[in-house]
Amino acid sequence: MMSVLFTSAVFGHDAEVPAGLGIVEKTGATIPPDILFHDENGATLKLGDIITKPTILSLVYLTCDHICPQVLGGLAVALPGLKMSPGKDYQLITISFDAHDDPATALQKKANYIKATGISFPKNAWKFLTGDRESVARITDAVGFSFQRDLHGFIHPVVLVFLSPRGVITGYHYVSRYQYGVEYPVTFSTAELNAGLAAASRGAVTLGATKPVLYCFTHQPVGQERFLNLLVVTGIVTLLSVAAFFIYLRMTSRRSG
Amino acid sequence: MTERTLDDKAPEESSFYDEKGKYSGVLAWLMSTDHKRIGLMYLGALLSFFSVGVTLGVLIRLSLIAPGAILTAQQYNEVFTVHGIVQIFLFIIPGIPVAFGNFFLPIMIGARDVAFPRLNRLTLWLYLAGAAIVLLSLFIKGAPPDTGWTFYAPYSIQTKANVSLAVFGVFVLGFSSIFTGLNFVTTIHRMRAPGMKWFRLPLFVWTLYATGWVQILATPVLAITLVFIVLGRVFGVGFFDPSKGGDPILYEHLFWVYSHPAVYIMVLPAMGIISEIMPTFSRRNIFGYKAIVFSALAIASVGYFVWGHHMFTSGMSDTARIVFSFITFLVAVPSGVKVFNWVATLYKGSIEVDSPLLFALSFIFLFSIGGLTGLIVGSLAPNLHVHGTYFIVAHFHYVMFGGVGFSFLAGLHYWFPKMFGRMFNEKIAKIGWFFFFIGFNVLYFSMFILGYQGMPRRYFEPPPQYHGWSVVSTVGSWLLAVGLIIIFSNLIRALFKGPSASSNPWGGGTLEWSIPSPPPAENFIEIPVVETGPYGHRERE
């Protein structure tokens, strides 16, 4: 009994970010132009063919229900405030690193986040790409992004990558603020996004800041489920004994009511 | 009811006050297993704690209009916490069942005592022990609890105040409650007089029955939750500590799994009292007896599944929130059924507006406001707006104090002649009611306005734009206190100087009015045989 009780205390946090997971900055490197991805409509395309203007690249998995939607939502509401005009001066590319994600899901997410911008945002200015394991491995290697499958999804860093029109990585923007109680808890400063895009359009490489990076992960310690099982068992035992008590009272009643 | 002949024999018997037992003095009371003595001891204890709670409440209101002048911020936190703990755990949850339930349940079903008289005495001892432990936590080394009455984790795990002791006291009180429920349920199953079929039970008994099941089923959850807090504080077990794999939201779930049904532990017996008073004072049979019975059972059972509405802003999936909100709306239906039935009972009745009816009518009015505002806070969108504001404070005071508190006073006036064999001054009771009722509404309705404007609850120093209504509310608390002083002075005076009460001063039809006031030690010389439903009326004597 007590061993069950204490498991949560002993095992504790199992949500430490595993060593080696995160971002290794590859600023100045060029994205291999021949990586193949599917766009939202299922068409296959080469990354080099679509990176033709300053680009904000984000890496997420589409079934995430933790921080990824907050990041994309926060990004969407920041876009109307940018100086440059979307589709013409800059674009966004969101790539799923989960090889199980498909174009249909991507299409749905795209519609959702374009709507979240609240303006008539040109559809071709934000692409949602999905691809197979190999393509995912190549793009994540290229930007120095590592992730790991977890019980309920993935553990991964939360970051935006700025790319020049030639596919050079010009800078990283770490997401490090999370504000409780607002519609999109992850907020982006338009000034910082403007600066990142301006640098990307010039092809000017900026070295990463020393800000700590946020990670997306699920918090589900091992002991917690055992603890919940303990509650389920004691709850059911209580219910059964109460039901037995009622039946006993009815069965052996001196007079039926 | 039948068995009218009992009245003729009754005066020959001496009352239970004159009963000589093994012990004398205080022990004659503390060691007694007579349900009536236990009920009266509970009543005395409850009203003492109630007066402490009211005093602290008035102090809170005073501090709010002059922050810092009377209490420091830390003292303010302690005062509102202790106000909550005393009023909730020491007064209103045990409240009606332990005082009036103990005294009247056996009599109303034609029994000589409850099923387990010694267990009943044990509940009283546990209650007194629990209360003593809670009070001890205020005075021993360290600070009084400052967490609010809900003991929310993680603060309750971290604070240096004497939370462990207070929580242990509440744990002990919980056992008192469980045993009372067990005892009442068994009594109602086993001890009914011949002919007292289920649908001949007075409605107060039905509500005690429904309440008993809620006490048995829900209170263990509170007990285990409180044990987790103590384990967390003393042994560092991290049930509610994320750094050790726990979850503070889990605390909220466990706490409200008990504490929402606890609202029905408080409210159901209050509704039972109203169901007794309405037919007596309108001289009609109750309208829709079975509907009232089934609505009580429905409230007791559906009430288990609404706890999530306390946590709409705590982090829950939308599906869960919508389901909890929907079930919350469902609970309003049986409550509405009861209100309609009480009002319909008055229709074409020969209404006598005596003080018990005044309190009962106030209950219907105030409980309706409390219930309807409950629908506002039970809907998701408005909940986000008013969560954590004085709107919530106003809502639950309308339900708890306006509902249960008024019903308690209604029952106290209704059964006072039976319990003590004395009549109180009816005119003064009405004057007291008037101050109390007006004061209550001034005090708490202004909180609805403040809350709707966004004034946050629990703040030591409210933002200045709320000062105006705060002053109104505080003036209301003075009027309410004046009302209570008048009401209780009247009753205390009646205890010593009131004229003798007849066996049936109000013309009630249930069994307690067929025996002398105060009742004899064994209640009935001969166990009555019941042949009709509960609310056939008699003449006032």
The pLDDT assigned to A187 comes to 84
Domain match, A138 and A229 both: no
Q: Which of A227, A240, A246, A252 to mutate to test the interface with B (most CBs of B within 10 A)?
A: A227
Is residue B534 in a domain? no
Residue A162 and residue A101 share a domain: yes
CA dist list (Å): B40 to B92, B102, B103, B194, B383: 16, 8, 7, 27, 41
The DSSP output letter for A160 is E
| CA–CA dist B235, B170 (Å, integer) | 19
Assess whether A253 and A199 both reside in one domain: no
In a shared domain, residues A53 and A12? yes
Are A227 and A128 within one domain?
no
The minimum CA-CA distance between B351 and chain A, rounded to whole Å, is 33
pLDDT over threshold 60, residue A230: yes
Using DSSP, state whether B202 is helix, strand or coil: coil
Asked whether residue A133 falls in the same domain as residue A243, the answer is no
Other CB atoms within 10 Å distance of the CB of residue B23: 12
Q: Given the structure tokens 């629908």, which residue do they identify?
A: B375
Report how far residue B74's alpha carbon sits from residue B92's, in angstroms, rounded to the nearest whole number: 26
Q: Examine residue B530 and state whether it is found in any structural domain, yes or no.
A: no
Q: Which of B189, B220, B246 sits opposite A249 (nearest CB)?
A: B189
Q: What confidence score (pLDDT) does residue A15 get?
A: 47
Given pLDDT bands bounded at 50, 70 and 90, which one contains residue A5?
A: very low
Cβ contact A234–B224 (<8 Å): yes
A14 has a pLDDT exceeding 50: no
ipTM over 0.85: no
Residue A3 has pLDDT above 90, yes or no: no
Contacts of B120 (CB under 8 A, 6+ apart): B33, B35, B38, B102, B114, B179, B180, B183
- Identify whether B25 is part of a domain: no
B509 is a domain residue: no
What pLDDT, on a 0 to 100 scale, did the predictor assign at position B9? 44
Q: Is the pLDDT of residue A192 over 90?
A: no
User: Per-residue DSSP letters for B132-157?
Assistant: HHHHHHHHSSS----S-TT--TTHHH
Q: Give chain A's domain count.
A: 2
CB contact under 8 A, B238 and A11: no
Nearest C-alpha in B relative to A65: B317
Find the CB nearest A223 among B197, B221, B245.
B245
Answer yes or no: do A63 and A172 share one domain.
yes
- Is there a single domain that holds both residue A92 and residue A185? yes
pLDDT at A228 over 70: yes
pLDDT reported for residue B8 = 45
Average pLDDT of adjacent 10-residue blocks, chain B of 541 residues: 42 78 88 96 97 96 94 94 95 96 97 96 97 93 90 89 93 96 96 94 97 94 92 88 82 94 95 96 93 95 94 89 95 95 94 96 97 95 93 96 97 97 97 98 97 93 93 97 98 96 94 94 92 78 65
The residue ranking higher by pLDDT, A32 or A11, is A32
Chain B positions touching A257 (Cβ under 8 A) are 192, 197-199
* Residues A19 and A38 reside in one and the same domain: yes
Residue B481 domain-assigned?
yes
CATH of the domain at A147: 3.40.30.10
CATH code for the domain of B223? 1.20.210.10
Q: Does residue A129 sit in the same domain as residue A9? A: yes
pLDDT at A6 over 50: no
What are residue A91's phi and psi, to 5 degrees?
-145, 170
A173 shares a domain with A58 = yes
> B503-539: per-residue pLDDT in tens?
999 999 999 999 999 999 999 999 999 988 888 766 6
Burial A193-204 (b: 16+ CB within 10 A, else e): beebbbbbbeee
* Secondary structure element (H or E) that encloses residue A127, with its range: strand A126-129
For chain A, percent of residues with pLDDT exceeding 70? 84
Q: Could you tell me if A257 lies within 8 Å of chain B, comparing CB atoms?
A: yes
A20 in reach of chain B (CB within 8 A): no
Q: Could you list the residue range(s) of the whole structural domain that residue A227 is in?
A: 223-257
Determine the average pLDDT of the residues in A29-58.
Answer: 93
How many domains is chain B partitioned into structurally? Answer: 1
The model's pTM is: 0.78
Q: Does the distance separating the beta carbons of A219 and B239 come in below 8 Å?
A: no
A162 membership: H or E segment, kind and range: strand A159-163
**Confidence category of residue A174, pLDDT binned at 50, 70, 90:** confident
To the nearest whole Å, the CA of A183 is away from the closest chain B CA by 13
* pLDDT given at position B13: 66
Per-residue pLDDT of B251-297, as tens digits, reads 999 999 999 999 999 999 999 999 999 999 999 999 999 999 999 99
How high is the pLDDT of residue B24?
A: 86
> In chain A, whose CA is at the least distance from the CA of B201?
A257
User: Is residue B349 one of the residues assigned to a domain?
Assistant: yes
Q: Out of B190, B194, B244, whose CB is closest to A253?
A: B190
pLDDT higher than 50, residue A9:
no
Question: Strands, DSSP E only, in B305-370?
Answer: none
Report chain A residues whose CB lies below 8 A from the CB of B220: 238
Domain that holds residue B341: 33-499
pLDDT, position A66 = 81
**Percent above pLDDT 90 for chain A:** 47
* Co-location of A201 and A236 in the same domain: no
Alpha carbon distance B53, B71 (integer Å): 16
Tokens of A165: 């029109």
